């Protein structure tokens, strides 16, 4: 049958192609916003599935649940844009929190000493990983894996396996405080928003940010263009260390505890959220706005499923995994981010 | 009489009768059994991680008793991650519940949402491990803390292990997660007993974080360094069974004595088969089902009345179960003088666990 004469008989793919040919800019704009549509679809679905989902309290929960990851994700976006990886963030966060709590409880140090010491330790951890990767050409996968063990081991040594539940007022304020009284706005969300905003401004409006994109897109080309790629790598991993340390302090304030083990979900959830938003693992593509959308999708999915009690508890992770995979496919295929293999 | 009045009347009658019963919970439970369908209660429960066999058994027991008492449970799995459990607890506070019972993954991490729940008048029951440091727990408004005595359990097992060692030789300790208060207490129990015998040498003491693969690695390593090792005590059964497999692979099952804690079904069977020398029952069924009962009572009587009714601390642990069976022909006519009447306790324990009673 001649489909050109019968519009009803043409396939969906053909129709989209036709539409793309006639309205290329509009279609590109719509598909490039695929992660946003995914997020909207989730909000609509969970809003219909659970009466508790679209309440003010739960929306605030989503923001709070996202906040620690958002601080981690700011640094991780820098790292992934460079085409590198940092596996040590959860462990660095753990050791930062433990240093702060140990100084406060055992040495009686008052703020800002515990906070500054925690952040300094995290910056040092990032710097060391960056230095060894840049100086000796060791893949960041390996240097940060080693740093994960170093930081985790230091946490265990400092804690002697004990949870410390006495934390500084500053940590508590950053993690659990509210602006404007007991029903005010959570400080942790402000910290997260500030972190993302500063990250965005640096990446978007500074020479350093442009160098990160250049280096991530093609390190040899960036080097030929005069960019000191080793210094970029060193600075990016140091920044990631700093955000990990800040996330550790904020997370400690949220959990009211410095834990003797790294929180396992922090690492993979952070990488998952950043990539889900559209930042490429290969580097050179993505940014903080994408990370924000990725974080929102990731946390909304988890929070939404938690708000539907009829889902079998033993099936929850299975469902989460599948929904995540579908969201990833939508985000990458419809946003045109996949480089298809033209040979097949 | 409208519906609310009738319910209040029933509640008042119940309070009166329970008052006369002087601390007896049975009238409340009878009331719930009779009225389970009238107004099902809604409860939220959370454990550190359902991937653990102990936690999964507790969840089954809780649901079984909840069904009996007309309680609909929504479970929030902590996934062995303090941040995940905290996020789920924040979500949990979106709704109102008749009661909430929780086994926290780490001390201190759930304080804020629990303060919100208590402020809203929701009874909160702490299961197995501390929500907050003990001195803060009562001030937090937690109704009751139902937990085992981890020191007692490990001491019971280690006593049998050192007895089988002949109170001399080399022993290794495989610890649980260092930050886990239960693991710390079990380690303390181990040292309390072993420290009494100067001829026993502790040649290795490392945490395996409840991880069976890590426990196997540690066992291989210690056997390599100390081929004359006589015993291993692991902080839980899963790690003890893992160590037993390594010992068997090395052909040393007759030489190395192994004990664990928790008395989960595979471990009880291992004790029955002589693979483990002893285990002690940390009753997931009792801890979780008692939490459901306490919560039901509080939801029925009201939180303040329940505080007067239910003690703040409820001990819930079980006996040690040994592989050897006491035997003495001279006591054939007086079997009550033999441990367990000269019989194995394993089948009885397995039967009780199948019924979620122990």
CA of B18, closest CA in chain A: separation in Å?
Answer: 33
Tell me if B87 and A303 make a contact (CB, 8 A cut-off): yes
Q: Can you tell me whether residue B232 is helix, strand or coil?
A: strand
In this predicted model, what pLDDT tens digit does every residue of A246-268 receive, in sequence order?
999 999 998 888 888 888 889 99
What distances in angstroms separate CA B75 from CA A229, B49, B85, one per listed residue? 50, 11, 11
Mutate to test the interface with A, among B179, B180, B211 (most CBs of A within 10 A): B179
- What is the predicted pLDDT for the residue at B333? 83
Going by pLDDT thresholds of 50, 70 and 90, the confidence category of residue A336 is low
Q: Quick one: pLDDT at residue B349?
A: 86
The answer to whether B3-148+285-315 and B150-282 have equal CATH topology is: yes
Mean pLDDT of B59-79: 92
CATH top-level class of B150-282: alpha beta
Q: What is the average pLDDT score of chain B?
A: 87
Check CB contact under 8 Å for B90 and A265: no
> Sign of the CA dihedral B195, B200, B205, B210?
negative
Residues B273, B276, B277, B282: is their CA dihedral positive or negative? Answer: negative
Task: Look at residue A21 and give its three-state secondary structure.
Answer: helix
pLDDT of residue B26: 78
| B310 pLDDT more than 50 | yes
Label residue A138 by pLDDT band (50, 70, 90).
very high
Predicted confidence (pLDDT) per residue in B221-274, tens digit: 899 889 999 999 999 998 999 999 989 988 998 899 999 999 999 899 999 999
> Rounded to whole angstroms, what are the CA distances from B208 to B5, B261, B317, B350?
57, 14, 23, 27
Q: What is the pLDDT of residues B181-227, one digit of tens each?
A: 888 899 999 999 999 999 999 999 988 888 887 898 889 989 988 99
Classify A179 as helix, strand or coil.
Answer: strand
pLDDT value for B293:
94
Distance of alpha carbon A96 from alpha carbon B25, whole angstroms: 48
User: Bridge-partner residues for B172, per DSSP?
Assistant: B204, B232
pLDDT score at A268: 92
- Which of A2-6, A50-54, A97-101, B120-124 shows the lowest mean pLDDT across its residues? A2-6
- Nearest residue of A to residue B46 by CA position? A313
pTM: predicted TM-score of the whole model, two decimal places: 0.79
The CATH code of domain B3-148+285-315 reads 3.40.50.2300
Q: What is the mean pLDDT of residues B138-147?
A: 94
What is the DSSP code (8-state) at residue A110?
P
Interchain contact A306–B (C-beta under 8 A): yes
B112–A176: do the CB atoms touch at under 8 Å? yes
Is the pLDDT assigned to residue B3 strictly greater than 50? no
Distance from CA of A304 to the nearest CA of B (A): 9
The residue written with tokens 């941040």 in the block is B83
pLDDT of residue A16: 63
What is the pLDDT, as a whole number, of residue B23? 52
Could you give the CA distance from residue A63 to residue A186 in angstroms, rounded to a whole number?
9
Coil, strand or helix: which one is A47? helix
Residue from B85, B94, B106 whose CB has the most chain A CBs within 10 Å, to mutate? B94
B1 token code pair: 């009489």
Q: Considering the domain A31-334, what is its CATH architecture?
A: Orthogonal Bundle (1.10)
* Residues of A whose CB is below 8 A from B86: 254-255
Geometric angle at alpha carbon A192, from A273 and B44, rounded to 5° = 70
Read off the pLDDT band of B17 (50, 70, 90).
very low
- Chain A contact set for B179 (CB, 8 A): 159, 161-163, 259-261
Nearest to B40 by CA among B300, B216, B259: B300
**Residue A61: pLDDT above 90?**
no
Domain ranges of chain B: 3-148+285-315, 150-282
Find which of B77, B81, B90 to mutate to test the A interface (most A CBs within 10 Å of its CB): B90
């Amino acid at each position: 049958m001649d489909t050109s004469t019968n519009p009803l008989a043409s396939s969906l793919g053909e129709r989209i192609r036709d539409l793309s040919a006639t309205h290329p800019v509009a279609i590109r704009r719509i598909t490039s916003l695929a992660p946003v549509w995914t997020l909207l679809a989730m909000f609509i679905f969970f809003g219909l599935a659970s009466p508790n989902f679209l309440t003010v309290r739960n929306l605030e929960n989503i923001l709070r649940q996202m906040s620690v990851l958002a601080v981690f994700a700011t640094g991780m976006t820098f790292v992934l844009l460079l085409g590198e990886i940092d596996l040590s963030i959860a462990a660095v966060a753990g050791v930062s929190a433990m240093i702060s709590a140990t100084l406060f409880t055992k040495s009686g140090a008052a703020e800002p000493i515990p906070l500054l010491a925690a952040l300094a330790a995290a910056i040092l951890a990032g710097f060391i990983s960056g230095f060894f990767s840049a100086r000796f050409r060791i893949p960041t996968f390996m240097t940060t894996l080693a740093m994960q063990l170093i930081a985790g081991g230091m946490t265990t040594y400092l804690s002697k396996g004990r949870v410390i539940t006495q934390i500084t007022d500053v940590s508590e304020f950053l993690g659990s405080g509210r602006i404007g009284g007991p029903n005010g706005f959570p400080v942790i969300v402000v910290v997260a928003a500030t972190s993302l905003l500063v990250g965005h401004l640096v990446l978007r409006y500074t020479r350093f940010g442009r160098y990160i994109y250049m280096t991530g897109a093609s390190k040899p080309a960036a080097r030929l263009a005069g960019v000191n790629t080793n210094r970029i790598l060193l600075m990016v991993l140091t920044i990631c260390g700093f955000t990990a340390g800040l996330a550790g302090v904020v997370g400690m304030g949220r959990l009211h505890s410095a834990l003797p083990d790294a929180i396992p979900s922090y690492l993979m959830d952070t990488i998952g959220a950043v990539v889900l938003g559209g930042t490429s693992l290969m580097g050179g593509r993505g940014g903080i706005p994408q990370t924000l959308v990725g974080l929102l999708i990731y946390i909304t999915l988890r929070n939404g499923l938690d708000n539907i009690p009829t889902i079998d508890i033993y099936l929850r992770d299975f469902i989460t995994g599948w929904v995540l995979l579908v969201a990833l496919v939508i985000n990458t295929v419809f946003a045109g981010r996949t480089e298809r293999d033209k040979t097949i | 009489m409208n519906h609310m009045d009738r319910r209040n009347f029933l509640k008042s009658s119940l309070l009166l009768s329970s008052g006369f019963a002087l601390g007896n919970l049975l009238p409340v439970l009878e009331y719930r059994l009779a009225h389970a369908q009238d107004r099902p209660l809604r409860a939220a429960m959370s454990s550190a991680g359902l991937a653990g066999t102990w936690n999964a058994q507790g969840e089954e027991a809780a649901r079984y008793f909840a069904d009996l008492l007309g309680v609909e449970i929504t479970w929030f799995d902590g996934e062995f991650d303090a941040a995940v459990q905290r996020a789920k607890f924040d979500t949990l506070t979106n709704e109102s519940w008749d009661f909430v019972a929780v086994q926290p993954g780490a001390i201190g991490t759930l304080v804020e949402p629990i303060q919100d729940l208590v402020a809203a008048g929701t009874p909160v029951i702490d299961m197995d491990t501390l929500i907050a440091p003990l001195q803060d727990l009562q001030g937090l408004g937690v109704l009751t803390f139902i937990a085992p005595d981890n020191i007692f359990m490990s001491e019971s097992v280690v006593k049998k292990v050192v007895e089988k060692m002949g109170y001399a030789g080399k022993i290794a300790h495989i610890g649980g997660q260092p930050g886990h208060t239960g693991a710390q207490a079990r380690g303390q129990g181990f040292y309390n007993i072993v420290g009494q015998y100067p001829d026993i040498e502790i040649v290795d003491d490392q945490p395996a974080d409840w991880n069976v693969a890590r426990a196997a690695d540690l066992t291989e390593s210690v056997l390599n360094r100390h081929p004359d090792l006589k015993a291993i005590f692991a902080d839980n059964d899963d790690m003890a069974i893992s160590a037993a497999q390594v010992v068997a692979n090395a052909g040393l099952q007759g030489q190395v004595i192994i004990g664990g804690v928790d008395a989960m079904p595979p471990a009880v069977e291992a004790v029955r088969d002589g693979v483990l020398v002893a285990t002690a029952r940390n009753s997931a069924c009792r801890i979780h089902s008692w939490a459901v009962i306490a919560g039901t009572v509080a939801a029925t009587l009201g939180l303040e009345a329940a505080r007067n009714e239910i003690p703040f601390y409820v001990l819930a642990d079980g006996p040690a179960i040994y592989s050897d069976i006491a035997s003495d022909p001279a006591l054939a006519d007086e079997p009550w003088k033999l441990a367990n009447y000269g019989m194995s306790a394993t089948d009885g324990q397995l039967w009780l666990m199948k019924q979620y009673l122990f």
